[in-house]
Amino acid sequence: MQYLRNKYIFTPGPVRMYEETLQLGSVQAPYFRNEEFSQVILECEQNLLQLLNAPKSSRVIFLTASGTAGMEATVQNLLNKNDETIVINGGGFGQRFVDLCKLHKINHLNHKLIVNDLFNTTQLNNYSSATTLLINAHETSIGLLYNMKSVGEFCKNNGILNIVDGISLFITDELDMQKQNIDALIISSHKGLALPPGLTMVVLSPNAIQKITPPNCMYFDFNRYINDGKRGQTPFTPAVTILLQLQARLKQIKKDGILFHIEKAKSIADYFRTQICVLPLKAYSQSMPNAMTTLTPTDGRSAYDIVKDLDQKYNVVVAPNGGDLRNIIFRVSHMGNMDKDYINVLIDALYQYFGVERK
Ligand SMILES: *Cc1c(COP(=O)(O)O)cnc(C)c1O
């Protein structure tokens, strides 16, 4: 256990947490069917809506689940037999939306991107008759950031409901529901928010709320959450402790201003990318978010071996990739409680690993 805890982590979830979050995680979980806890949920909802610049009368659904449950629940509640949905498929998470559409028998157009094909919405002009669109704002499997403003404009101009998985973008990069015309947005606790895994939130604009069709399941029926949420409750036991940690986190983020956090992530990402530029590594994606850097070794080494060696020799954990990309790329997250001292541990490890002296 101690062995697991003493690692320096740079993974895209879980991410390094803040001291306050750790402290709140160490206390007894309170009972939640009371006025006091309702206030916690209502405050979290208000602060999230504000930080995301959600349209008036938007609502937040709090699910006790990981991010994929938020993706699945959204497909089940917002899409139905009459829909034709575009799925932007740039990697593992895009493919997950495709798989969910197949499973739930939703008509879909799988817009599969070729490696490093910089997606732009003119590619979608043939699909303007679609009713809905599913996209992962940041395709975390390869570190590809899409232009969410142009996606939003395309959706708005064609009357398409814009459903966005923003799980690995919130706090580190801009997410603005009004500016980017986002109708439904999925976010999770264990990415930029830097909380433990287990809480996923689906933010619904009035347009999305109107489109809900009750799904053939109980736990993920959005209408139940919307009704109970009016008085600050959830239909089933919420992730009580994570909600208390969320309340504190949102309060802090609001106090600092979200721009402060976006700028902080950007400065960490820029610092890391500049510092490692003399090493035999190159950026894999042409469009990277502040949240993460995806790297390819240029000296013939296997990316997977680098991940393994960094862990074993330096106690530094970065994320490997699966499948075809296993030996091609590894990923370094900049989400969570990052500062220069902390990222320098990774940078120093990389210099030593490659046998380059750091000046
Ligand atoms: C992390 C992540 C998810 C959620 O994955 P879970 O393992 O279910 O938490 C979904 N989409 C994206 C883009 C992610 O980065």
More confident residue, 50 or 6: 50
> Both 302 and 221 in a single domain?
no
> Both 265 and 247 in a single domain?
no
What is the signed CA dihedral for 49, 50, 52, 54, rounded to 10 degrees?
Answer: 60
> Both 138 and 35 in a single domain?
yes
Structural domain span for residue 295: 2-15+258-354
State the average pLDDT for the chain: 96
pLDDT of residue 121: 84
Residue where one domain finishes, among candidates 211, 230, 256: 256
Reported as a single tens digit per residue, the pLDDT across 35-46 is: 999 999 999 999
Reported as a single tens digit per residue, the pLDDT across 240-255 is: 999 999 999 999 999 9
CATH number at residue 181: 3.40.640.10
pLDDT of residue 120: 82
Q: Does ligand 1 lie within 6 Å of residue 137's CB atom? A: no
Whether 331 is in a domain gets the answer yes
> Both 184 and 298 in a single domain?
no
Residue where one domain finishes, among candidates 198, 231, 256: 256
Ligand 1 centroid distance, CA of 87 (Å): 16
Reported as a single tens digit per residue, the pLDDT across 167-185 is: 999 999 999 999 999 999 9
Reported as a single tens digit per residue, the pLDDT across 183-239 is: 999 999 999 999 999 999 999 999 999 999 999 999 999 999 999 999 999 999 999
Residue 152 above 90 pLDDT?
Answer: yes
Q: Give the chain's domain count.
A: 2
Q: Name residue, tokens 């689940």.
A: 65
pLDDT of residue 125: 87
> Both 247 and 117 in a single domain?
yes
Reading phi first (left if > 0) and then psi (alpha if -120 to 50, else beta), residue 127 is in alpha
Is residue 240 helix, strand or coil?
A: helix
Ligand 1 centroid distance, CA of 2 (Å): 26
Whether 248 is in a domain gets the answer yes
pLDDT of residue 239: 98
The span from the CA of 93 to the CA of 138, in Å, is 9
| Percent of the chain scoring above 70 in pLDDT | 98
Residue 346 above 80 pLDDT?
Answer: yes
Q: Does ligand 1 lie within 6 Å of residue 172's CB atom? A: no
Reported as a single tens digit per residue, the pLDDT across 52-75 is: 999 999 999 999 999 999 999 999
DSSP 242-303: HHHHHHHHHHHHHHH-HHHHHHHHHHHHHHHHHHGGGSSEEES-SS--TTEEEEEESSS--H
Whether 231 is in a domain gets the answer yes
Q: Which residues contact 356 (CB under 8 A, 6 or more apart)?
A: 278, 279
> Both 215 and 95 in a single domain?
yes
Lowest mean pLDDT among 46-60, 113-127, 279-293: 113-127
The span from the CA of 61 to the CA of 294, in Å, is 31
Q: Does ligand 1 lie within 6 Å of residue 188's CB atom? A: yes
pLDDT of residue 225: 98
pLDDT of residue 3: 61
Q: Name residue, tokens 């895009």.
A: 94
Indicate the residue type of 82.
Answer: N
The span from the CA of 305 to the CA of 203, in Å, is 39
Name the residue of 168, 172, 189, 190 whose CB sits within 8 Å of the most ligand 1 atoms, as the mutation to test its pocket.
168
Cα 11 to chain centroid, rounded = 12
> Both 212 and 281 in a single domain?
no
> Both 148 and 274 in a single domain?
no
Residue nearest to atom 6 of ligand 1 (CA): 67
Residues 31 and 37 sit within 8 Å (Cβ to Cβ)? yes
More confident residue, 312 or 322: 312
